[in-house]
């Protein structure tokens, strides 16, 4: 009786977990378990295959374990000496050969998938070439064919292969959009990585940094926005429009140039040492983690997010390299003015 109870006790957490598992596999735009593109499906397929094999293995082991633990427990007064079995060649061969077969079953599709995933589309004329650069703690995306640079939001045309070239400017990061593809590290110059994925459906997908890169590693998020071919062209065109939209108030514009454009860029002005701000008003988030969606409980209007960020960047992302605007001589009113200007700096 006692043993049955113990077996039940051990199974309880398992069934509870299984319930949790069925209840949800995570967000569609974030979860590995809800793949949204061929690369993620490739990984997911192997996971399905391996977990199926492994569940069979687990069932066999658990069943034998449960059987021997219940059947062969020592009964009171049992004192005869059990037969001292040395082993069994047949059984040893059995549990050597069967796992070997299982390994082969998993290894063959694995090797195939490794080489399939190795196709980085670097020489594919139809692919969109994007150079990804990791920075503590933000992402820079350069569309090399279009000479367009942006940050934090990666806009891609739906269904097209995107050929990535990944590099870091400081420490190692890892570029990961779980629902679209596995991750790959951004290494320093000399060990540059390339890979490719595509998103067959329009939507916004969450991306993360998956390699410890400092205090705000957990906040180094970005978004991948898959849009129609038309919208993508439109976006490229407006990004390429050379005119920089500056604050209307000329005094503020001067301040903005002096304090911000020494690292940031808008349109054809400034430099790309920090996230490019062109069309920042149209982005999904500020600093990758303050979501510009006031219809959701965890979002806020973009202007509010910009103010949160600009008034104290360190409290939003500890350890980030942006100086506090107040230390650059901007007053609270000027910061709010810049926030308002940036919030309204949208692309057509």
Partner 1 sequence: MAQAAHTLNSSKPLGHGHSVKRHTGLMDWLTTVDHKKIAILYLWAGGLFFGIGGIEALLIRWQLIKPMNDFLDAQTFNELITMHGTTMIFLGVMPIIFALMNAVIPLQIGARDVAFPFLNALGFWTFLFGGILLNLSWVMGGAPDAGWTAYTPLSTSTYSTTHGVDFYTIGLQIAGLGTLIGGINFLATIITMRAPGMTYMRMPMFAWTTFITSAIILFAFPAVTVGLVLLTFDRILGANFFEVGAGGNPVLWQHIFWIFGHPEVYILILPAFGIISEVIPTFSRKRLFGYSSMVFATILIAFLGFMVWAHHMFTTGLGPVANALFSVSTMLIAVPTGIKIFNWLFTMWGGQVRFTTPNLFAAGFIPTFTMGGVTGVMLASAPADFQFHDTYFVVAHFHYVIVGGLVLGLFAGLHYWWPKMFGRMLSEKLGKWTFWTFIIGFHLTFFVQHFLGLMGMQRRVFTYLPNQQFDLLNLVSTIGAGLMSVGTIIFLINIYLTSRKPADAANDPWEDGRTLEWTIPSPPPEYNFKQTPLIRGIDAFWKEKMAGNKGMTPAEPVGSIHMPSATILPFTMSVGIFIAGLGFMFSRDDFGNAFMSFMFNYYIVTAIGLIITFGSMLLRSLYDDHGWHIEPEELEGSERT
Residues 79-98 touching partner 1, rule: CB under 8 A, are 81-88, 91-92, 95-96
Phi first, then psi, for residue 286 (nearest 5°) are: -110, 130
* Residue numbers 219-258 binding partner 1 by CB under 8 A: 221
- Closest to partner 1 by CB, 268 vs 294, is 294
Question: Cα separation of 192 and 197, whole Å?
Answer: 17
Q: Which residues, numbered 36-65, are part of the site for partner 1 (CB under 8 A)?
A: 40, 42-44, 46-47, 50-51, 53-54, 57-58, 61-62, 64-65
Token pair for 298: 């965890």
Tell whether residue 271 is a contact of partner 1 (CB under 8 A).
Answer: no
Contact between 185 and partner 1 per CB under 8 A: yes
The smaller minimum CB distance to partner 1, of residues 62 and 146, is found at: 62
Give 107 or 271: the residue with its C-beta nearer to partner 1: 107
Kindly give the interhelix angle for 302-311 and 332-343, rounded to the nearest 10 degrees: 140
**Total residues binding partner 1 (CB under 8 A):** 101
**Cβ distance to partner 1 smaller for residue 76 or 250:** 76
In sign, the C-alpha dihedral spanning 57, 62, 65, 68 is: negative
Taking the complex as a whole, how short is the minimal distance between the CB of residue 318 and partner 1, in angstroms? 4
Q: In what order do the strands lie in the sheet with 222-227?
A: 153-157, 222-227, 203-209, 173-176, 184-186
Q: Are 29 and 205 in contact (CB under 8 A)?
A: yes
Pairing of strands 138-143, 148-151: antiparallel
Tell the smallest beta-carbon distance from residue 37 to partner 1 (Å): 12
**Residue position matching structure tokens 């066999």:** 60
- Using rule CB under 8 A, residue 190 touches partner 1: yes
323 is a site residue for partner 1 (CB under 8 A): no
The binder of partner 1 chosen from 8, 15, 24, 233 (CB under 8 A): 24
Q: In 10 A of CB 94, how many CB atoms? A: 11
Q: Which helix (H) or strand (E) holds 207?
A: strand 203-209
Nearer to partner 1, 140 or 211 (CB): 211
Choosing from 217, 223, 255, 283, the residue that interacts with partner 1 (CB under 8 A) is 217
Residues 124-143 within binding reach of partner 1 (CB under 8 A): none
Burial 97-116 (b: 16+ CB within 10 A, else e): eeeeeeeeebeeeeeeeeee
Measured from the CB of residue 188, what is the shortest distance to partner 1 in angstroms? 4
CB closer to partner 1 out of 133 and 181: 181
Residues 139-168 that bind partner 1 (CB under 8 A): none
* Whether the Cβ atoms of residue 186 and residue 40 lie closer than 8 Å to each other: no
Does position 99 interact with partner 1 (CB under 8 A)? The reply is yes
171 close to 135: Cβ distance less than 8 angstroms: no
CA dihedral 27, 28, 32, 38 (to 10 degrees): -170
Q: How far is the CB of 27 from partner 1 (least distance, A)?
A: 6
Of 220 and 239, which CB lies nearer to partner 1 in the complex structure?
220
Residues 100 to 119 in contact with partner 1, rule: CB under 8 A = 100, 102-103, 106-107, 110-111, 113-118
From 7, 30, 263, 347, residue interacting with partner 1 (rule: CB under 8 A): 30
Q: Identify the bridge partners of residue 226 per DSSP, sorted by sequence position.
A: 156, 203
List, in order, residues 6 or more apart from 65 with CB less than 8 Å away.
none
Counting contacts by CB under 8 A, is residue 31 touching partner 1?
Answer: yes
Q: Are the CB atoms for 242 and 253 separated by under 8 Å?
A: no
């Amino acid at each position: 009786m006692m043993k049955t109870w113990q077996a039940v006790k051990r199974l309880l957490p398992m069934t509870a977990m299984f319930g949790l598992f069925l209840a949800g596999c995570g967000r569609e735009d974030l979860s590995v378990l809800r793949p949204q593109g061929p690369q993620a499906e490739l990984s997911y397929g192997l996971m399905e295959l391996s977990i199926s094999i492994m569940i069979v293995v687990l069932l066999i082991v658990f069943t034998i374990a449960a059987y021997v633990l219940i059947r062969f427990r020592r009964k009171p007064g049992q004192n005869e000496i059990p037969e001292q079995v040395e082993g069994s060649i047949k059984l040893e061969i059995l549990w050597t050969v069967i796992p070997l077969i299982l390994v082969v079953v998993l290894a063959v599709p694995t090797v195939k998938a490794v080489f399939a995933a190795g196709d980085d589309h670097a020489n594919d004329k139809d692919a969109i070439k994007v150079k990804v650069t990791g920075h503590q703690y933000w992402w820079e995306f350069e569309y090399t064919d279009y000479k367009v640079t942006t940050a934090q939001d990666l806009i891609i045309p739906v269904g097209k292969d995107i050929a990535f070239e990944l590099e870091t400017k400081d420490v190692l990061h890892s570029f990961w959009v779980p629902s679209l593809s596995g991750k790959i590290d951004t290494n320093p110059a000399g060990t540059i990585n390339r890979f490719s994925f595509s998103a067959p459906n329009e939507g916004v997908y969450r991306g993360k940094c998956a390699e410890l890169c400092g205090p705000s590693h957990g906040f180094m998020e970005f978004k991948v926005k898959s849009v129609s071919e038309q919208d993508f062209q439109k976006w490229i065109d407006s990004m390429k429009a050379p005119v920089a939209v500056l604050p209307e108030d000329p005094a503020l514009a001067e301040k903005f140039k002096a304090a911000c454009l020494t690292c940031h860029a808008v349109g054809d002005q400034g430099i790309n040492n920090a996230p490019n701000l062109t069309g920042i008003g149209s982005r999904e988030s500020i600093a990758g983690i303050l979501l510009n969606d006031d219809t959701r409980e965890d979002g806020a209007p973009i202007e509010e997010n910009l103010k949160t960020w600009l008034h104290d960047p360190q409290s939003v992302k500890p350890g980030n390299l942006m100086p506090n605007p107040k230390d650059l001589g901007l007053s609270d009113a000027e910061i709010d003015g810049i926030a308002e200007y940036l919030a309204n700096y949208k692309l057509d």
